[in-house]
Amino acid sequence: MPGEVRVAEFVDYAAGAENDRDKLILEHIPLLRHIVGRMCFDVPGGMDRDDLYGFGMLGLIAAADSWEAARGLKFSTYAYTKIRGAILDELRRMDFLPRGRRENVRDLDKTVRAMEQKNGTPPAPEDIATEMGISVDEVDQIFLQAKSSSEASLDEGTIGPLADLLSDPHCEEPIGSLEREEMTELLARVVGNLPEQEQSVINLYYAEELLLKEIGEVLGVTESRVSQIHSRALYRLNKALAPLIGQS
């Protein structure tokens, strides 16, 4: 793949490096692995997670080239944004959500909207599956595709309000200690009501901060399946949180 930089190749090169820039890169390869290992993405066909490492390495190198210690920002904080940004930039250049997947996401979004308008609340994943005549696993896959597209800001018009139901509740932290405490209590309450498998994924991902591969090993499923379960759990969390936040 053009412009790709493999992590293993750079490790071999940097092992003998003596300048500060190369040492900085080498020291933060674990950060790169951590970021990529926790990205819940539906990777496009023909790609695998190793490609994401390559894209992220370009971001890490760019961070090392442009970081200025005098500005007071820790390199790890600066590099995190650069690494994740480089991966998302590369995905934006690709056909991340081809026509078939885009149509599936649109159909699911329309179904969620129609059922919410009828019943006054977003439908459960199982009810979506019944309404669309597909399996819950297929709903999970479409959830992940929609979430991936939303996070990369690739096709916001495709998924509409569904993006809010698949967003990470941790992304926008409330202001003020009281509000943080209230949100923490609300999250604990709704997480405790999740089905067991989804609750495990949320706890292992956020509390234990495990990589997707590690979570998969605990649950006996693949990384891709962990990402799907994670997306379904976020949907349930946001569905449950919406009325509670409105009451607070």
- Residue carrying structure tokens 């509409």: 160
Q: Of 65, 92, 119, which residue constitutes the final position of a domain?
A: 92
Sign for the pseudo-dihedral over CA of 134, 138, 140, 146: negative
The 8-class DSSP code of residue 95 comes to -
Q: Are residues 68 and 104 in the same domain?
A: no
212 contact partners, CB below 8 Å, separation of at least 6:
37, 38, 39, 40, 205, 223, 226, 227
Residue-range definition of the domain harbouring residue 55: 7-92
Q: Are residues 119 and 200 in the same domain?
A: yes
Does a structural domain hold residue 1? Answer: no
The 8-class DSSP code of residue 199 comes to H
Q: Are residues 82 and 127 in the same domain?
A: no
How many residues are there in the chain? 248
Return per-residue pLDDT of the chain as tens, 248 residues.
444 555 555 555 445 545 889 999 999 999 999 999 999 887 766 677 888 999 999 999 999 999 998 998 999 999 999 999 999 888 888 766 677 788 889 999 999 999 999 999 999 999 999 999 999 999 999 999 888 888 766 544 445 568 888 888 764 444 455 466 777 788 888 899 999 999 999 999 999 999 999 999 999 999 999 999 999 999 999 999 888 775 44
The predicted model scores a pTM of 0.81
Closest CA to 186 of 176, 174, 197: 174
Closest CA to 30 of 63, 72, 76: 76
116 contact partners, CB below 8 Å, separation of at least 6:
122, 123
Q: Are residues 14 and 87 in the same domain?
A: yes
